[in-house]
Amino acid sequence: GTWTLADNTLPTLADGPHTITVTATDAAGNVGNDTAVVTIDTVAPNAPVLDPINATDPVSGQAEPGSTVTVTYPDGTTATVVAGTD
Q: Give Cα 6 distance to the centre of its chain.
A: 20
User: For residue 8, is pLDDT > 70?
Assistant: no
Cα–Cα distance, 8 to 15 (Å, whole number): 18
Contact 65, 83 (CB under 8 A): yes
Query: CA 44, 53, 55, 74: dihedral to nearest 10 degrees?
Result: 30
User: For residue 9, is pLDDT > 80?
Assistant: no
β-partners of residue 9 are none
Quote the pTM value.
0.54
Q: What is the mean pLDDT of the chain?
A: 85
Vertex 58: Cα angle to 55 and 64 (nearest 5): 135
User: For residue 83, is pLDDT > 70?
Assistant: yes
